[in-house]
Amino acid sequence: MQKYFSSDDIKALEKQMRVHFINSIGGFKSVSLVGTNDKQGKTNVAIFSSLVHIGANPALVAHIFRPSPPERDTLSNLLETGFYTVNHINEIIYKKAHQTSARYDKEISEFDVTGLTPIYKNNFKAPFVSESSVQLGIEFREKIDIKINNTIMVIGEIVQVHFPEDCLSSDGFLDLERANTITCSGLDSYHKTVQLDRLSYAKPDKEITSLTQN
């Protein structure tokens, strides 16, 4: 039996219930750690579940930032330096990753308090998370103010990718299960995944076939 909520019902929900409800109804999401530093080299790492694919050529992704205050150190750092990293979360570090959502003072690095390890690669100016298997180096490209709720969309270009060699298929598909990447729903629920299938490109006059190798 289905339950029905109108927009008035949603607005009438207690605040935290409404937050959890709306954050979970969109389905499973990408969840990752965004690594930054300021111009003085002070590091910051924070968990995000708002990563959006924008395009493949150029390779663009976007994040949504909630209104300030409180101060968003990740946002101020990446705007100041122009660089940040996106690091996939795995089963080993998901609790440490979740802890980065706590509101620490700017003087405190989440790397230090959670036990995650910053690492710099290929002269990239922002820190990667050493414990992450899939790591993206992003260069800031555009900031868009969303007036309807005072959030900010930040778009960046992927300029570096680090990943396990055995996760790359011959056609370019990256096997995230093999990389032990996890997903999330809502604000605090973390999940492993099981692939059902990988399907051929859909065309009007061609039957869909399975690409999964047995």
pTM: 0.93
The pLDDT score that the predictor gives to residue 72 is 79
| 54-63, long-range: CB < 8 A, 24+ apart | 54/155, 58/157, 59/157, 59/158, 60/141, 60/155, 60/156, 60/157, 60/158, 61/86, 61/136, 61/138, 61/155, 61/156, 61/158, 62/153, 62/154, 62/155, 62/156, 63/34, 63/153, 63/154, 63/156
The pLDDT score that the predictor gives to residue 86 is 98
The pLDDT score that the predictor gives to residue 67 is 82
The series of mean pLDDT values per 10 residues for the chain, 214 residues long, is: 94 94 93 96 95 96 86 91 98 97 92 97 97 98 96 97 95 94 96 94 94 71
The pLDDT score that the predictor gives to residue 206 is 93
